Structure 1
Amino acid sequence: MLAPTPASPETVGMSKAALDRIDAHLKQRYVEAGRFPGTQLLIYRRGKIVHASSQGYADVERKVPVADDTIYRIYSMTKPLTSVAFMMLVEEGKIALDEPVAKYIPEWKNLGVFVAGTAPAFMTRPPARPMLIVDLLRHTSGLTYGFQQRSNVDAAYRDAKIGAVEKAGTLQSMIDDLARIPLEFSPGEAWNYSVSTDVIGYLVGKIADMPFEQFLKERILDPLGMTDTGFHVPAAKAHRLAACYSADPGGALSFHAADRKGGLTLQDDPATSSFLSPPAFVSGGGGLCATTADYLTFCRALLNGGELGGVRLLGPKTLKLMTSNHLPGGVDLPTLSRSMFAEAAYNGIGFGLGFSVTMDPAKTLIAGSAGEYAWGGAASTAFWIDPAEDLITIFMTQVLPSSAYPIRRELRTMVYAAITESNV
């Protein structure tokens, strides 16, 4: 796929001085302060790359600098790709959003809703209605993540090692285990961040009659030329995999020990990472690694109405459907959420089919546009696409958890401040 050409910010209605200010902010507040090992920021507007910067280290211990081809664990930024893959099958008439999930996963036909108890002696009640396919895509299914640490159902997920975090079992074993654990709530009653997108990946494989990872490669990654994106990093590219860290105020890896404001602890060494070999559990919710350039290619296809360079993933009407708010009652995430964690938690933000969706920028208290869609990953990576402003922003680093610092809010504020010619 032909890479976009760079252009000066002023030619696309942005300020170079304001964009340079973002780099200074990242350097001083995050990299030099020891909060992030390194950062990579890419801003694309009106068909051009107007800002691309890298600083700090991809691997602090080995003093490997962040490079254009650094490979990152994108964790939940996998979810949009999985959702697009699924909607490709919807477009082909092979499955519909309003069908019951149990039609395709009969093991779940008798799933109940949690009332009381602990595994395996749960008390349950029947759900008010069946779980629908759309519930999986918008996280209103009643499923959860074990790391939520909120309920006895979460605890049962941890005990069974269900989900992308533990990388245990296979997609089929996840489906089998979930058949024995009740739902957190009746489908459609609440929003809860969950393994729902892993289930979507399972369904892609089942409906397409091929392994999910093969479908993603043959239908999205290869056609778009996303050659550095996959569920593991092959040996020939292992030297490009960044180290992953956890935020730790007392961490030994601060850059300035005499003036420690941040701190990092190595969480996943790229020399021994599990991402160096194909996983048994292929996580559509959080399993991919990718470069910034590859993720830009995917985002460009979305911004362009589902097509790029003659490769069409989806029709523009399908993409419009995906980037509309699908939360019941038309409410925003905070109104419906029971989740202890999400990659977006602002007022005025709804959820579509694989993305958060900005409904009302004023309620977010952050500059932006109605119709902007986005998500992020557990290691503090983030992206957003703003069709109104013809804008894509991608940010990469490798620090868990993504809630450690308000970097996403800061980036949105500063990127929108750099726009000197608004399209709306």
Structure 2
Amino acid sequence: MNLPVLEPTRLDAVDARPAPIALRDRIDEAVDRALNERRLIGAVVLVARDGELIYRRAAGLADRESDRLMREDAIFLLSSVTKPIVAAAAMKLAEQGRIDLDAPVTDYLPQFRPRLDDGSEPTITLRQLLGHTSGLSYRFGEAAGSDYDTLEVSDGFDQPGLGIEENLRRLARTRLRFAPGQGFKYSLSLDVLGEAMARATATPLPKLIEELITAPLAMKDTGFALADHKRTATPYTDGLAADGSRRPARMHEDTSLPFFDGVLRYAPGRLENADSYASGGAGMAGSAGDVLRVLEALRQGGGNLLRPDSVAAMMRDQVPAPIEGLDPGWGYGYGAAVLSDPIAANTPQSRGTFAWGGVYGHSWFIDPARKLTVVALTNTAIEGMMGQFTLDLRNAVYAGLDAAGA
């Protein structure tokens, strides 16, 4: 198998290429502000431009209670940062003819037959799973008391020890929110897709992702198990102390966090239970450097990993904006959102930017027009995914590049 799409010496060198001072200072200020205001406990931020790593920093603490400093090779629970990795693997299987994206999911999962309100059983294709147009949802995306609640459907980062067969059985008993292909709703679709991929190839999803993505890209710290417990960042949730000051709380196995109309339910120890199913939408752990590798492979058009047309499909609006559930100006591709209107989105990012995050506190984006990839993994939810830090970091990157004429 060819190694790797990226040139290891460019992104793995001990020292990054010196960043423009304006860029470095602006990003440092954004990171320091979030730490000083106790909106974040710790973070790893990497910025690559045209394949060169121009900014790298590990800041704050990996574990507050023991004063363990954050390291650049820290391992994070990736949550939805898993999605572009699994989506890329699906595209590779399609290239190889091992799956058909336009085939019904029942070709691979015969018992998975959710219904609409009227009792009809529509066809759901793998392509609809990839683009979240299947009609499925997430439990955290539904109000209390929904069928997802009563059936105790797992969102893929809770309920340690739950197997995929049982979760698919529960999910298949929920009602579809719309006829497949007739809407968009962020959902457990990638969990269903991941198991369909495993069944189609007679290969467990963790082994399949290793074969197709992590081994070719030398992503040694990333998989559906923790590569090194000693390097794992302790997760925290946003919170206010009794005196009104911010003090994120350490996550425990039964931690929950309000999220719009729903609730995020966390189980940080889930990956330590071998019986937990491999969630194609939220089940991986890994390092910021590994995440940068796969994102840079996509930015570069796929290299030895994927054909350019597969990458173009992933990073193209498959569900054009405006879309309920996404910010103005953003559509959705395969594995992440696609920026179609920077003015409507009020962002300095270029049209065609590919971006997403993760509920453990992560954000990332690829701006192909600027040859730019930014990864920010933090151990603080939700601030690190959609808080002020993400806006400050984004603005700092573009202001720094513009000031340097880069």
Match of 2:323 in 1: 336
Contact 1:232/1:277, CA 8 A, preserved across alignment? no
SS at match of 1:317: helix
Q: What is the deviation of 1:279? A: 4.7
Q: Which amino acid in structure 1 is aligned with residue 247 of structure 2?
A: G
Match of 1:407 in 2: 389
Identity of matched residues, %: 28
Q: Which of residues 195, 199, 202 in structure 2 aligns to 1:206?
A: 199
Contact 1:233/1:277, CA 8 A, preserved across alignment? no
Q: Give unmatched runs, 5+ long, in structure 2.
A: 254-267
State whether structure 2 residue 77 is matched by structure 1 residue 83.
no
State whether structure 2 residue 363 is matched by structure 1 residue 382.
yes
State whether structure 2 residue 349 is matched by structure 1 residue 391.
no
If the length of structure 2 is used for normalisation, what is the TM-score? 0.87
Match of 1:419 in 2: 401
SS at match of 1:26: helix
The 1:275/1:97 distance shift into structure 2, 3 A limit, reads closer
Q: Which of residues 296, 318, 324 in structure 2 aligns to 1:326?
A: 318
State whether structure 2 residue 8 is matched by structure 1 residue 8.
no
Q: What is the deviation of 1:374? A: 1.3
Q: Which of residues 91, 115, 120 in structure 2 aligns to 1:126?
A: 120
Q: Which amino acid in structure 1 is aligned with residue 323 of structure 2?
A: L
Q: Distance in 2 between matches of 1:66 and 1:377?
A: 19
Q: Distance in 2 between matches of 1:313 and 1:208?
A: 18
Contact 2:328/2:344, CA 8 A, preserved across alignment? yes
Superimposed CA distance per residue, residues 208-227 of structure 1 (whole angstroms, 9 cap, x where no aligned partner) = 11101111112211221111
Match of 1:306 in 2: 302
Q: Which of residues 225, 229, 249 in structure 2 aligns to 1:238?
A: 229
Match of 2:74 in 1: 70
Q: Distance in 2 between matches of 1:273 and 1:108?
A: 28
Q: Which amino acid in structure 2 is aligned with residue 292 of structure 1?
A: A
SS at match of 1:394: strand
Q: Distance in 1 between matches of 2:53 and 2:42?
A: 20
Contact 1:73/1:289, CA 8 A, preserved across alignment? yes
Match of 1:12 in 2: none
Runs of 4+, deviation exceeding 4 Å = none
Q: Distance in 2 between matches of 1:279 and 1:357?
A: 35
SS at match of 1:336: coil
Q: Distance in 1 between matches of 2:105 and 2:226?
A: 33
Contact 1:172/1:202, CA 8 A, preserved across alignment? no
Q: Distance in 2 between matches of 1:391 and 1:99?
A: 35
Indicate the larger mover: 374-383 or 276-285: 276-285
Aligned residues: 379
Q: What is the deviation of 1:184? A: 1.5
Q: What is the deviation of 1:48? A: 0.9
State whether structure 2 residue 32 is matched by structure 1 residue 41.
no
Q: Give unmatched runs, 5+ long, in structure 1.
A: 10-14, 115-123, 252-256, 340-344
Superimposed CA distance per residue, residues 185-216 of structure 1 (whole angstroms, 9 cap, x where no aligned partner) = 11122211110011111011011111011111
Contact 2:63/2:233, CA 8 A, preserved across alignment? yes
Q: What is the deviation of 1:155? A: 3.7
State whether structure 2 residue 56 is matched by structure 1 residue 52.
yes
Superimposed CA distance per residue, residues 327-370 of structure 1 (whole angstroms, 9 cap, x where no aligned partner) = 1xx3x1xx332x4xxxxx32111101111111111111110111
Q: Distance in 1 between matches of 2:194 and 2:215?
A: 18
Q: What is the deviation of 1:82? A: 0.6
Q: Distance in 1 between matches of 2:99 and 2:153?
A: 29
Superimposed CA distance per residue, residues 213-251 of structure 1 (whole angstroms, 9 cap, x where no aligned partner) = 1111122112211111121214xx211111100111127
> 1:210-225 to 2 correspondence within 5 Å?
210-225=203-218
Contact 2:22/2:401, CA 8 A, preserved across alignment? no
Q: Distance in 2 between matches of 1:158 and 1:165?
A: 18
Match of 2:334 in 1: 353
Indicate the larger mover: 216-225 or 80-89: 216-225
Q: Distance in 2 between matches of 1:219 and 1:22?
A: 34
Q: Which of residues 245, 250, 253 in structure 2 aligns to 1:266?
A: 250
Match of 1:297 in 2: 293
SS at match of 2:391: helix
Q: What is the deviation of 1:102? A: 2.5
Match of 1:121 in 2: none
Superimposed CA distance per residue, residues 126-176 of structure 1 (whole angstroms, 9 cap, x where no aligned partner) = 36x522222111111111111123375x44355333331323522222222
Q: Distance in 2 between matches of 1:264 and 1:284?
A: 28
SS at match of 2:296: helix
Q: Which amino acid in structure 2 is aligned with residue 243 of structure 1?
A: T
Q: Which amino acid in structure 2 is aligned with residue 204 of structure 1?
A: M
Contact 2:270/2:276, CA 8 A, preserved across alignment? no
Q: Distance in 1 between matches of 2:29 and 2:186?
A: 34
Q: Which amino acid in structure 1 is aligned with residue 151 of structure 2?
A: D
Match of 2:348 in 1: 367
Match of 2:173 in 1: 180
Q: Which amino acid in structure 2 is aligned with residue 275 of structure 1?
A: L
